[in-house]
Structure 1
Amino acid sequence: MSDISGSRILIVDDAPENIDILSNALQSFKCIAALNGEKALKIAKGSNPPDLILLDIMMPGMDGFEVCRQLKENPDTQDIPVIFITGKTDVEDETRGLDLGATDFIPKPISTPVVYARVKNHLEFSQAKKKLKIQYEESVLQNKFITDSINYAKRIQTAILPSAGDFQNLFPDSFLLFLPKDIVSGDFYWCGEHEGKKIVAVADCTGHGVPGAFMSMIGNTLLNDIVYAKQISKPDSILAELDSGIIDELNKDLHEGTLDGMDISVCMIDQQTEKIYFAGAYRPLYYQYNGELFEVKGTKKSIGDNRKSVVFELHEIPFQKNLLLYLFSDGFTDQNDSEGKKFGSGKLKQILSEHADKAIQEQFQILHKAFLEHKSSEAQRDDVTFLGIRI
């Protein structure tokens, strides 16, 4: 129960005997009085405003309706509860008072138990409302602080990911569709070149938002070390090193219950030797060859899953001019529509097959439009990353 014993009650009435009756009924509160509207407004706007106002309607000069109107128009006094004490019981008068912002009407002749009960209830409600307002304002500030921090994390993540320019320089005939579910993404993409071999990867980390973003930064750092420091370029070896690195980074030997990690597809393109290799951890590669769409499934093990000990399978992809490669996270195919139906791999394969002869950027527009139309007004359920590359 709220402590309202020290609440200040302003009684506004041109009849001193009515003020006395109300003051006696409200002895447990601090009562102050005003004999007219002008004095009431001055007190209400002062340095120590009342917590509630009992206001007579029929007063000479400024009546109670006008006092209430001015109180509710002033930001400094508009939250003070106003209860009309009046002999006017017409519906029109009550409606007018409530429209002006009054919280209640108490008819004359005055019943002291009723006055006390209503004042007590409105004071408790007003105090609860003030606490809620303070809590709301605090939550708004906390939310702003958190959002600002996440936006800064997005800047860091964006700086770590390959820029659009870097990606286009490495793969001139390509597209990138990157749609984080939240401000930061649990998906990430990586590309690099070592000794003439071009390497590209798309990863879907455990979770999304901030936890996924942390994992994506670990994955990005490890890939840089694997390719550039350890000079590993074969996709199956990259995945084996990445798996070992994630387990070591997260101390999974000490925390066997954790399943944090990522699903990832890695492709290496060596145009000098005309070789393309692929390996995946629960993620496939789609490619167009001789007018036909093929799917190469990844190994059934997530990166960082220390419950499984398997060898990541290496696949060689037939090399030909204008070969199309597609790497993507499951956020694209798992997106539901308004009826709960997923986009699905079948629909995706159909779109890719039907538009394989189109320019790569036109394919991007078609895929993006198809995704948005399928999602419609539904919330995006996961991060989405989709890479298309024409050799």
Structure 2
Amino acid sequence: MELNKKIIDRFFCKFKDVVLEQDYKSYANEKSKKFNYRLLIINYFIGLFVIIDDIRVTGLDPFYILWHLIAQILFWIMFLSSEDFKKKFYEKYFFITWVGFMNAGAYLYYFSPEPFPAGEGVVVSSILFSFTIYPFAFIESVVASIATSIPMAIMLFHKENIDPGHLIYQFIMPFGLLIYFKFSNEILKRSDFLNEKIAKSKQKEINDSINYAKKIQEAMLVSESYLKETLPKSFIFYQPKDIISGDFYWAHKDESNIFFTVSDCTGHGVPGALMSMIGTTLLNEIIVEMKFQETDKILNEMRNQIIKNLHQEESNNQRDGMDMTLVKLNLKKKEIEFSSANNVLVHVSNGNLNSYKGDHQPVGFYSGKNISFTKQKIKVNMNDMIYIFSDGYQDQFGGEKNKKYMFSRLKKLLIKISNEDENQQLNLIESEFNSWKGDNEQIDDVCLMGLRIT
């Protein structure tokens, strides 16, 4: 991304917007933390090398040893202050270190009878200290460099302890390198910062949109109060993989029957959620408004509407649809009629479990032969349990061997908990799922409905 001149002051290499500049400094602090630790350590060992080399030249001059002892103490003050990495303290200790290092050297060498060494140690220290602080206070570091270097230059030049030819290397060269490094990299860093900020902003917009879509999806699901009124001895374990879900549940009560369903739409997340809203809309239209009563005809009509509305007859590439079990309960007759698309219904009575498979085709476009859905009828008794669910529960990976939960294990669980009340069953089902999943990622949306016949 190219930085607009209206956004950045290219001379001072700062954002013109104060808030944006503060955000960038916080960003630079975090990004430079490890880099600065390494730089300080490198500077420390280079300083030790310079000390050893200068001792070789000057001998054990007490003034010289005192100067480097001061430098070492100041270095560790700065290094330890960088641990918390609070900008104002970091800069404060940096300036203390630099001022102390340069001026201590000036005064000590002024009184020292020995000639000033080549000076490379000061040059190296200047460069490395400048690179350490420059991302946060470039102008301040330049001013501090000049201000603390002047007394050293005057005193050493007056004492004739330094060759005037070294001045260009000692003072001008570090600033030249600092300025070059600053302007060749800072624009790039600020560009990366803006790109990251824009990406985060777009991600926030997407997340906000998804969260709003979640509210819409939840509004289209039957309310908890309506579900309890319609199916008083029921529970729902509903756990989307993402913020929004491709699984949905629905219920409706008319004069003589109660309809309820759990549906697993193609995909999860946004695509699945869109299909779930289509499914909810079609159920309301076909059952509530058009008064369809037979479960097989309801699924046939849903399939026709999905193929028509999504233009699936024009494209063989679209496989959008849903797997579902639709149940019609007649409490007076104590009879269940249901139709199922790629799904099952589980009936538990007196500790005995029976599972009923549905038709091997989805509610939507199917590449195989397009046949009508079938319906099945089951006689039920008081206190029997009916379970319908998507495949997310049984397909979840976990356990000691990190395998799928499987339908066989789910059936054993349903038999085990079938005598508990609906609240306890919900707690046990949720606990079992989370225990099995452990630290694994949830792989699919999960929806499981249980109903006790009353």
8 Å contact kept, 1:2–1:128: no
Shift of residue 9 of structure 1?
7.3
Shift of residue 234 of structure 1?
1.9
**Given the alignment, which residue of 150, 153, 156 partners 2:210?**
150
Cα distance between partner residues in 2 of 1:102 and 1:115: 11
Structure 1 pair 113–253 and aligned structure 2 pair: CA distance change class (3 A) = farther
Which amino acid letter does the alignment assign opposite residue 313 of structure 1? T
Structure 1 pair 329–7 and aligned structure 2 pair: CA distance change class (3 A) = same
**Given the alignment, which residue of 316, 325, 348 partners 2:410?**
348
Which amino acid letter does the alignment assign opposite residue 187 of structure 1? D
Which amino acid letter does the alignment assign opposite residue 199 of structure 1? F
8 Å contact kept, 2:120–2:170: no
Cα distance between partner residues in 1 of 2:350 and 2:240: 34
SS of the residue corresponding to residue 253 of structure 1 reads: helix
Taking the TM superposition and a 5 Å limit, the aligned residue runs for 1:42-191 are: 73=87, 87=119, 89=121, 97=129, 101=133, 109-110=169-170, 119-191=179-251
Aligned to 1:289: 349
Structure 1 pair 117–220 and aligned structure 2 pair: CA distance change class (3 A) = same
8 Å contact kept, 1:194–1:227: no
8 Å contact kept, 2:328–2:337: yes
- Compare the two structures and name the one with the higher strand fraction: 1
Cα distance between partner residues in 2 of 1:259 and 1:229: 27
**Given the alignment, which residue of 364, 374, 377 partners 1:304?**
364
Deviations 1:298-341 (A, max 9, x none): 21101112423122221112211111010111111111127531
Cα distance between partner residues in 2 of 1:98 and 1:112: 13
- Compare the two structures and name the one with the higher helix fraction: 2
Cα distance between partner residues in 2 of 1:111 and 1:97: 13
Shift of residue 261 of structure 1?
0.7
Percent of paired sites with the same residue: 30
Deviations 1:14-66 (A, max 9, x none): xxxxxxxxxxxxxxxxxxxxxxxxxxxxxxx9xxxxxxxxxxxx9xxxxx999
**Given the alignment, which residue of 348, 358, 379 partners 1:318?**
379
8 Å contact kept, 2:127–2:177: no
Shift of residue 343 of structure 1?
1.5
Aligned to 1:209: 269
Structure 1 pair 299–134 and aligned structure 2 pair: CA distance change class (3 A) = same
Cα distance between partner residues in 2 of 1:9 and 1:229: 69
8 Å contact kept, 1:162–1:189: yes
- Mark the runs of 5 or more structure 2 residues left unpaired by the alignment: 4-8, 14-21, 23-66, 68-73, 93-97, 103-118, 146-165
RMSD (CA atoms): 4.0
8 Å contact kept, 1:173–1:389: yes
Cα distance between partner residues in 2 of 1:334 and 1:167: 27
- Mark the runs of 5 or more structure 1 residues left unpaired by the alignment: 11-44, 46-57, 59-63, 79-83
Whichever of the two has the greater Rg, that structure is 2
Deviations 1:256-294 (A, max 9, x none): 210011111111100122220121100111110232111
Aligned length, in residue pairs: 331
8 Å contact kept, 1:194–1:231: no
Aligned to 1:51: none
8 Å contact kept, 2:345–2:357: yes
